[in-house]
Amino acid sequence: MKVGLALSGGGARGFAHLGVLKALEEVGIKVDMISGASAGSVAAAFYSYGYKPEETLKIFENTNILKLVWPAFSVTGLLNIQKTESVYSKYLKEDSFEASQIPIYIAATNLNEGKTEMFHSGSLKQAIMASCCIPFIFDPVKIGEDYYVDGGILNNMPTEILQEKGCDFIIGVNVAPLVKEPNLSGPKRMIERVTVLALSANVMYSSRICDVYIMPQELRKYGTFDFKKSRELFDIGYEHARQLLDSPESEKLQKLLRIAESKSA
169, 4 contact by CB (below 8 A) = yes
DSSP letter for 218, please: G
**The dihedral formed by the CA atoms of 237, 239, 245 and 247, expressed in degrees to the nearest 10:** -130
Beta bridge partners of 34: 5, 104
Please check whether residue 160 is in contact with residue 125, taking contact to mean a CB–CB distance below 8 angstroms.
Answer: no
What is the amino acid identity at position 206? Answer: S
Distance CA 107, CA 70 (A): 24
Separation in Å, CA 132 to CA 28, 61, 238, 265 = 30, 18, 23, 40
Q: Parallel, antiparallel, or unpaired for β 104-110 and 33-37?
A: parallel
Contact (Cβ atoms closer than 8 angstroms) between residue 168 and residue 2: yes
Which residues participate in catalysis according to the annotation?
38, 150
**DSSP one-letter code for 177:** -
